[in-house]
Amino acid sequence: MKMLLRSGRFLCFDCRGPYHDLKQRNAEEDDKTMVDDGFKRQSPSRGMLFDLSTLNLGIFFKEVSYSDEQDEVFVSTRVYFPYNDEDVGQGGESTSAEPETIIRVLAKRGAIKDTSALSTHDQRVLEVLSQLPTFDPFLLLSQRREMEGDRKISAKYFDITEDDWVMIRRPVMEKISLLVSKANRDHEVDVFEQYMGGEDEDDETRRLMTSAVIDSIWRGEATQGCRQLIRSFKLDEDKTTEILFAWKGINYYEFQYKKYQQQFYDFFKWLGGAGSMPKDHKTLQSSQIDRFEYRRERARKLIRATHATVMQIIADYNSSFERLVDEDSPREFQLFLSNAPKNFLTVGLAIGVLAHTTTAWVQMTQSGKKPSVKSTELEPFYDFIIAVNGQDFYVAR
């Protein structure tokens, strides 16, 4: 758990840091209000992710399982409540984060009076956290409006700058616009040019219509234009929101892969070199060396499989998109969109696993600057790699 916490936000979301910061800020504001106005505010949870303090002290993490029977990957969300908030290694309680399950657990622990005592806001946030494949700040931010149905949540929980948001949004929007443009080709509307403010700006009505469709896809709204787009690919328009959100998510994960690509390759190179064996190997017994070699080989195979999953989904996506745009062949992209909800979960988890693994390597080796590390550091690292990569990823095709 400690290594998972230290290695990023993809598969693990620790609510405790922002909660403690906000708790202190709110108390200071209340004290000032008490002095200035003579009364205290009655909303100590303002800005916090949850109304219930117990949930704000939880550590959420993702688990994956594969059903041979249904031929599908299932992602579950769990929450861990440490016994000691200062040291998570001392143990704690873990349970499913599904609202129906966690309500019973919280009631049993006495955190709430009964199974109907969880606020609407908290139930909504739990549902969103359970539905996302990872806890990447971009995905959380994209669902912020859904989580803030009753009140605002502090930006501390989303942890993404405006510059990063714009940088991420642009490549996704470009592909969205190309797709809408293709869908409107019979009307001779170049949606990308219209949306980005290119030619034909005189036709303001047409530009606004195409812009509205693109913005709706970005927000994942089932507007008439979005439903029409899904219908144009002969897909179930009742799944419009699910399909569009998954498609946008796959675009985003392709962006994330490119962002981390060089770091991934540096890590892979290290894993294949002499530095991936213990620095103090000469002091180890032959049986210990054998164990390290076995673990390293096991880690290599698992990471290759995880990386191959990511590359397969991204390659399928780009190939189908290029055939649609360049060759007017929609069949492959139709299949891609049909499988997008399943592959969105898979690619999100796979990139999350790679990112956590690589970040742990960066921290252990200082981005490869330490040529090798001692066995006492390397052993838990390989255990971590095998644990987080030790799952079968399924690519729907």
Alpha helices per DSSP H over 220-285: 224-232, 240-271
Phi, psi (deg, nearest 5) at residue 203: -85, 75
pTM (predicted TM-score): 0.75
Taking phi first (over 0 means left), then psi (-120 to 50 degrees means alpha), and beta for anything else, what does residue 69 get? alpha
DSSP string, 161-173: -HHHHHHHHHHHH
Asked if residues 180 and 217 have their Cβ atoms less than 8 Å apart, the reply is yes
Provide the pLDDT for residue 192. Answer: 39
Provide the pLDDT for residue 187. Answer: 44
Q: How many CB atoms lie within 10 A of CB 150?
A: 12
| Nearby residues of 363 by Cβ (< 8 Å), 6 or more positions away | 6, 7
Regions of the chain with pLDDT less than 70: 1-9, 31-44, 64-74, 115-116, 183-211, 213, 391-392
CA atoms within 13 A on the CB side of 270: 24
The residue with tokens 């507007």 is 223
Q: Cα 114–116–119 angle (5° rounding)?
A: 115
Encoding tokens for residue 254?
């392709």
Phi, psi (deg, nearest 5) at residue 150: -105, -30
Provide the pLDDT for residue 316. Answer: 94
Provide the pLDDT for residue 122. Answer: 92
Beta bridge partners of 134: none
Provide the pLDDT for residue 389. Answer: 79
Provide the pLDDT for residue 394. Answer: 74
Helix axes 375-389, 331-365, angle to 10 degrees: 160
Single-letter residue type at 385:
I
Phi, psi (deg, nearest 5) at residue 58: -90, 155
pLDDT tens string 312-345 = 999 999 999 998 888 878 889 889 999 998 888 8
Q: Report the distance separating Cα 46 and Cα 128, nearest Å.
A: 19
Asked if residues 330 and 283 have their Cβ atoms less than 8 Å apart, the reply is no
